Amino acid sequence: MTTASALTPLPVLIPLVGAALTLFAGRRPRLQRVIALAALSVVVAVCAGLLYLTDRDGVLALHVGGWGQTVSGMGPLGITLVVDRLSALMLVVSAIVLLAVVFYAIGQGIRDGDERQPVSIFLPTYLVLSAGVCMAFLAGDLFDLFVGFEMLLSASFVLLTIGASKDRVRAGIAYVMVSMVSSLIFLFGIALVYAATGTLNMAELAVRLDGVSAGTRTALFAVLVVAFGVKAAVFPLSTWLPDSYPTASAPVTAVFAGLLTKVGVYAIIRAHSLLFPGGGLDPLLLVAALLTMVVGILGAIAQSDIKRLLSFTLVSHIGYMVFGIALSSQLGMSGAIYYVAHHIVVQTTLFLVVGLIERQAGASTLQRLGGLAAASPLLAFLFVVPALNLGGIPPFSGFIGKVALMEAGAQNGSVLAWLLVGGGVLTSLLTLYVVARVWTKAFWRSREDAPEGHLAAAAPAALLDDSEDIELVDRDDVGRMPVGMLAPTGALIVVGLTLTVLAGPIFAYSGRAADQVLNRGQYISAVLGKAP
């Protein structure tokens, strides 16, 4: 047993074991926190190790239980876990984000929580979510991918409706229904793929799907793209997202916004490049990407609640990633991969900052906010760095990712690609407009100028959202920002800046990852143990 094969299952195993232990330790909150933090810290280390090993040795494949190639002519029969450069990068970034957010949630709970806070439910569920995300990135089998999705979705249902207030139940119902429909479409796609090929192992599928007629291939790909498109929130399948995410508590929204949609994007990359290269849907995906970008950001302009506004920018920026994928070129794919990494970090950071704003100012809507720059220059700094990064101001990583995508579009040279380049620039400018609006309203003007500036939420809400509106003057002083919330937010900003400072090596890595994704031979031979 090599180091690599010992490390591969750990990102799924450790959070699951951690979830079980935290459930057992339900009555001992301190122990529970230690377990959760330790489990996710180990996952970060393991994922970093996997990143190093894959970059050095190529694709790692593990047949769980040794059920690899058994009968000639049949694919691997058991569960296959595969790590290539793309999944290793996704794993590392997700693990860092998961650790930072759990730190933030614990910090918030310690400072603002009371005995009613359902922390004893929160941590185990959060760990199951982490395991599901890692499982989806590791899956070498379509059905395992489905199971990974279901794990993270079931956990996300619980996290979204924690406390079960009226708003959250309403948002939760919509979210559960849409997610379940997308899962059923995915399962339907799995059944069709199985009918067409007789296997679900992705490497074996990649070989066998080449023998399927073009029309059937396109139909199968279309079913899977619809299923993944709902999860990734690609227009017109994106309307569920801004309705459901903003009602959850800040750390939950942050981790959802950062990771869940990106799992969908990852699945689209796999289906597009490994299973159905040249699947014939690229023009459709390009149009969907354009509409996602433009419609999403126009939605953001109309919002006054910062959480909703950020949810719309989240939808809008998924368009950039789909754009890069649909170009089917090396530069487009590496731009998309870099952009996914950048966007996970930046979007999570922004939602964590909104959590801080909500705690300090007692509101997250622009109708009530004002004067934050004077009240807390530190908070203003924490907001402005990721906000400018999201808007694509040079030299931040958002700018680098967008430039790579624009170049790839120009390289493609078709009319549609140029339209997308134009749409991308427009979206970038409008994103800047949107964050600048938040900046001028929430940070610069005085709070007396806000139409509802005199109102605020009574108490800082940690995980629940049941506090009443009161007059701002009656609100108790919440004190300074807790270190437990500041430190992870700051750490994620540093990670975001690292993506800028080390852009050369990281972009080179995503280029190598894109090479590996587009040349399926390495993946196939690593899993099947033979040349394709």
Partner 1 sequence: MTTYLVPLVLIGALASAGVYLLLDRHLTRMLLGLLLIGNAINLLILTVGGRSGNPPVRGRISDGETTTADPLAQGMILTAIVISMGIAAFVLALTYRSYRLTRGEEVSADPEDTRVSQMSGKDASALDEDRPQPGPARDADAPDELDALPGPQGPR
Among 367, 500, 522, 525, binds partner 1 (CB under 8 A): 367
Among 366, 385, 420, 462, binds partner 1 (CB under 8 A): 366
Q: Determine the residue type at 415.
A: V
Q: What are phi and psi of 139, to 5 degrees?
A: -60, 135
Q: To which residue do tokens 């993946």 refer?
A: 523
Within 219-248, which residues bind partner 1 (CB under 8 A)?
A: 243
Residue 333 · residue 280 · CB < 8 Å: no
Instruction: Point out which span in 2-10, 187-195, 272-280, 340-348 binds partner 1 (CB under 8 A).
Output: 187-195
Give me the least distance between CB of 191 and partner 1, in Å please.
Answer: 5
Torsion angle in degrees (nearest 10) through CA of 49, 51, 56, 57? 90
Contacting residues for 375 by C-beta, under 8 A, at least 6 apart: 360, 361
Instruction: Point out which span in 64-72, 184-192, 338-346, 518-526 binds partner 1 (CB under 8 A).
Output: 184-192
Is residue 22 a contact point for partner 1 (CB under 8 A)?
no
Measure Cα distances from 523 to 71, 83, 464 in Å: 20, 9, 45
Give me the least distance between CB of 144 and partner 1, in Å please.
Answer: 10
Give me the least distance between CB of 195 and partner 1, in Å please.
Answer: 4
Give me the least distance between CB of 421 and partner 1, in Å please.
Answer: 29
Q: To which residue do tokens 């190598």 refer?
A: 512
Among 6, 45, 184, 378, binds partner 1 (CB under 8 A): 184
Among 26, 42, 55, 157, binds partner 1 (CB under 8 A): 157
Q: Round to whole Å and give the CA distance between 252 and 307.
A: 12
Residue number, 174 or 214, with CB nearest to partner 1: 174
Element (H, E) at 16: helix 10-24
Beta bridge partners, 456, equal 470
Is residue 181 a contact point for partner 1 (CB under 8 A)?
yes
**What's the 3-state SS for 427-461?**
HHHHHHHHHHHHHHHHHHCCHHHCCCCCEEECCCC
Q: Round to whole Å and give the CA distance between 296 and 416.
A: 19
Is residue 374 a contact point for partner 1 (CB under 8 A)?
no
Among 37, 188, 219, 432, binds partner 1 (CB under 8 A): 188
Instruction: Point out which span in 31-39, 157-165, 250-258, 416-424 binds partner 1 (CB under 8 A).
Output: 157-165
Within 444-483, which residues bind partner 1 (CB under 8 A)?
A: 445, 448-451
Is residue 158 a contact point for partner 1 (CB under 8 A)?
yes
Which is it for the CA torsion 508, 494, 134, 356, positive or negative?
A: negative
Within 250-269, which residues bind partner 1 (CB under 8 A)?
A: none
Residue number, 202 or 341, with CB nearest to partner 1: 202
Residue number, 307 or 402, with CB nearest to partner 1: 307
Is residue 169 a contact point for partner 1 (CB under 8 A)?
yes
Residue number, 305 or 515, with CB nearest to partner 1: 305
Beta bridge partners, 82, equal 61
Is residue 191 a contact point for partner 1 (CB under 8 A)?
yes
Within 283-312, which residues bind partner 1 (CB under 8 A)?
A: 302-305, 308
Question: How crowded is residue 148: how many other Cβ atoms within 10 Å of its Cβ?
Answer: 23
Nearest residue to 323 (alpha-carbon basis) of 186, 244, 423, 200: 423
Among 154, 216, 329, 522, binds partner 1 (CB under 8 A): 154
Give me the least distance between CB of 229 and partner 1, in Å please.
Answer: 18
Measure Cα distances from 469 to 126, 453, 456 in Å: 29, 12, 5
Residue number, 31 or 77, with CB nearest to partner 1: 77
Q: Round to whole Å and give the CA distance between 26 and 452.
A: 41
Give me the least distance between CB of 299 and partner 1, in Å please.
Answer: 9
Q: Determine the residue type at 128.
A: V
Residue number, 38 or 174, with CB nearest to partner 1: 174
Among 26, 31, 121, 143, binds partner 1 (CB under 8 A): 143
Is residue 329 a contact point for partner 1 (CB under 8 A)?
no
Q: Round to whole Å and give the CA distance between 218 and 197.
A: 14
What pairing do the DSSP bridges indicate for beta strands 469-471 and 455-457? antiparallel
Longest Cα–Cα distance of the chain, Å, equals 76
Is residue 133 a contact point for partner 1 (CB under 8 A)?
no
Q: Round to whole Å and give the CA distance between 290 and 426.
A: 11
Q: To which residue do tokens 């970090």 refer?
A: 345
Within 405-444, which residues bind partner 1 (CB under 8 A)?
A: 441
Residues near partner 1, by CB under 8 A: 77, 143, 147, 150, 154, 157-158, 161, 164, 166, 169-174, 176-177, 180-181, 184, 187-188, 190-192, 194-195, 200, 243, 302-305, 308, 365-367, 441, 445, 448-451
